[in-house]
Structure 1
């Protein structure tokens, strides 16, 4: 508070504005500075003047939506149509105005087979746009968390030991390669997290293409016999558990690559069998090979991820066994949709 010559207290208009709208004035000054000036400005002023929110891309998807639910008002969800990753200028403008505390990049091109037909679009979203976000994170001096995939390990079909974070990647196909290229873009910024996960399922968002569990429930209701691949080993994971782990990691400042999946591993056929067992449905289901399935894009035969690096955090949220996680999801699903119960 300033004093006038008469001894009366006065509040200049500018100072009132700074008090009432600190983020606006912080951003106004920050955007006018050079790169070196911005670094000094961040050191001089309380980080509380920054936006306290976390920007989450893919907010209308499964994982992005779950992150926004768990963070509540701390998160700003970004997704189509307002936030288009291919509109690079729009992406820059949005994040520069927002100036988030952190960026969580959960959006991705995930149509694995279709990617073989439109590789340019897949790479533009998964790699080029990710590079733009990495550049922005550096400019804004905020952490960037990039959600990647077990598919970066697709070239060792006879492997039997879970992959660790430091194992060399061997992506096969357009989708897997594009996601790995995204990882390389993120590595250019030191304040990064790369979270590899697998087979996500959970509450569907407005832009969610679906998931394996919901597909099995839909097909199981049809009464038709099913054929499911039984030679691809992985760990389908519940988004609630993955989101909790991501939130925890962002609070550690322990930057790097982490594998975040539920415990144990299975095949898609055995996973489907467990779905129907928990639902108490009598569904005719047969195991088939990857070759018999005949997908356009290659799939990893073994992409089980080792989570021991994450597990070393003694206070980290647990990653339950995949069977327990599946049971939890089906129970939660029934609570969410009581008029559409999973009954045969």
Structure 2
């Protein structure tokens, strides 16, 4: 057994099996994967990693499981510990190029030392199925309980106050889904409220969006294969880009290093249909000097959580309904350009949009 002191949850206790998982090279790699990618360019203290988030998710999942001993198998907490194993460098940033980290997590669990450790207790098939368990990946799960509170703490914003203990005490697993008890509704509401506030202020902050778009463009131009980037950490990736044979790749990564980011030419929440056409037109005219960033809209899955009595959270909470209705108001897409060509790009986009 080992006790780890965590800034969010206090003492996190790892049993011998959890400790063996944590000590594998695959899990230790998460120390070098930042939780919020390039958000530290806007929030300098946001340097926390997937490593401590995974420990926190494990701890919360274990608490939920202990409160539901009759219906939850113990392996769920270990699945929660490993739910982010496959994250690419800078977390979600590179999923725009390589797809979901979840599939890479499944691949990572099938290879290397981590597979041997898991195999001592569980079949790989059994363990992989638990990655989709509602406690690990559901409408109200241990993952988002940890990251919302943790991200708020490390960015310093005042939106992560959630009564996790009360919420956990009032979560019941019926064998198929997690159900929020009546006494846990307020805590569940605060979780969704925290996410709705974190979305525009942190997760979609324009500085983070611009830097991420520049990094994606650099990796795209460098043509790194998915199999290679899947095992990289952020030190590996940045070293590769800094040493690139392509001038434009080195230029982009140096601009990120020096925080000389591209400027916003378009930044709007008006939907646009011809995304691929505009992207290609910008690439043909300006190469890497202008970038289109069109992120997916937020989903806010928490609204679908079941409440005691068989209804969804959005049906019993007017606050949740309002937050869901407002969720698209903070969504933005943008065109960004290097400062010396911003006026040319602005005119080009205006002509394109007619």
Fold equivalence (TM over 0.5): no
Normalized per residue, the structure richer in strand is 1
Task: Report the structure number with the largest CA radius of gyration.
Answer: 1
- TM-score of the two chains, using structure 2 as the length reference: 0.28
